[in-house]
Amino acid sequence: MVTLRAGLTVLLAVVLGSSAQAEDGTSEKKGPTLYGDGGGRLWKWESGEKSFLTPEGRNVVLGGVGEKELWGWALEGDQARFFTQKLPKKEGSGSGSQGPQPASPLIFDPGRYPAPDRADRAGDRLLLVYGALSGQPRWEVWRGGKKLAARAYDDGRLVYAAVLSPEEGWMIAGRAADGTPWLELSGADVEVPEGWRGRLTVAAWVPEAEKKEGEGADNAASSGTPEKTPKKKPVHPWAAGWGAPGAAPPRALLWGPDGWVQPQPTEDGPQGGVYPVAGSPGDGVLTLGGWQAEAATGTLHPWFWDGKAAQTAAGTADGAVEAFSVKGKGGAFLIVRHPTAPWHTQEDGKESQVLDNLGPDDRVVAATGADAPGAAPSP
């Protein structure tokens, strides 16, 4: 269950790092750099080592990670105080620096709110969701401490994703009580395919693709007058999950600028249901990660969508997907949380790599790199 946003919830990017040299001089694969929370503290995980970003004594939740800072909220009884924190500097960065740098202090916003189930943040705006899986959810949008919009339901629907746009608007996505996918855009219902069953688990704002040199030249460029200020790329709302008419096996289901679409299943892969659970903005596309089930046995295989084609890995795995990559140096992979030890693994369909020093209370929220994971699930 996830939410995501381009920009702040650029949230969220995963990539395999470069090779590291072991002490004995042999080459050792370096995994992604993860950020998460557990036991009321924020942490960073890299190369099997976990370092805490907040001291003991506070009960804090990580909401998302941007390019230069992370954000979250501290729980104080039944109230929440939102904060930002600068990301730790890399080892060796800065003049004369050696080793890891100390964590930056938390910078708290003014105001307190009832503790949310899910939340998203963009600038001075907040999107708060309460009772997300209760069947009676409600959401609120705030700006600068003033409530802009709110809505409550009592009809059994569930919220799986909630996200703010980088500038204006928001999305709420999930499942209606009758089992149909459900999507709202800035408070307005989006019509879903009639007679379908399924759910939406991903919501994201995707920037338009980078134009190649010479494409889309404007009048100023053609006249030889350079632009003084580069234009912001337009962003578009996207949502994804799975669905199918009637009792048919579920397939990946996407909603975006072209309306509702479904990627075609791979002919050489398992022909069972497809279940995207994490998503991320790519270059003009929404990328996805999740599972594909075998029709006969229900066995799960890692599944990926790079915005153009689906890929199903040969190996098997299961668990809760917390992050993913579709084009890291080591290929596509999932970061998966398990109910028993080993608690977290990296699954690429070829091998299962245990992520050491992550325990049962740890939750992976984001990872840094060139490829974004699905938006982190707000607890």
pLDDT digits (tens, 9 = 90+) for 321-363: 999 988 767 788 999 999 999 999 999 999 999 999 999 999 9
Q: Is the distance from CB of 242 to CB of 173 less than 8 angstroms?
A: no
Neighbours of 166 (CB within 10 A): 18
Whole-angstrom distance, CA of residue 274 vs CA of residue 248: 11
Which DSSP category does 96 fall into? Answer: T
Task: Give the integer Cα–Cα distance in Å for 311 and 304.
Answer: 5
pLDDT, tens digit (0-9, with 9 covering 90-100), for 250-268 = 999 999 999 999 987 766 6
Instruction: Assign residue 159 a region (left: φ > 0; alpha: ψ between -120 and 50; beta: otherwise).
Output: beta
Instruction: Specify the pLDDT at position 270.
Output: 62
Residue 210 is predicted with a pLDDT of 77
Distance CA 186, CA 153 (A): 15
Q: How far apart are CA 324 and CA 345, in angstroms?
A: 11
Q: Parallel, antiparallel, or unpaired: how do β-strands 352-354 and 138-143 relate? A: unpaired
| pTM metric for this prediction | 0.84
pLDDT tens sequence across 154-201: 999 999 999 999 989 999 999 999 999 999 999 999 999 888 999 999
Q: Are 203 and 173 in contact (CB under 8 A)?
A: yes
Residue range 97-148, pLDDT digits in tens: 455 567 899 999 999 999 999 999 999 999 999 999 999 999 999 999 999 9
Residue 303: CB atoms within 10 Å:
29
Of 248, 236, 243, the C-alpha closest to 176 is: 243
Is residue 230 pLDDT above 70, yes or no? no
Mean pLDDT of the chain: 84
Is residue 11 scored above 70 in pLDDT? Answer: no
In this prediction, residue 89 has a pLDDT band, given cuts at 50, 70 and 90, of: confident
Give 227-274 as a DSSP string: -SSPPPPPEEEEEEEEEEETTSPPEEEEEETTEEE-PPPPTTS--S-E
- How many residues does this entry show for the chain? 379
Give how far Cα 181 sits from Cα of 1, 138, 162, 337, 374, Å: 14, 17, 14, 25, 19
pLDDT number for residue 21: 35
Q: CB neighbours (10 Å) of residue 168?
A: 10
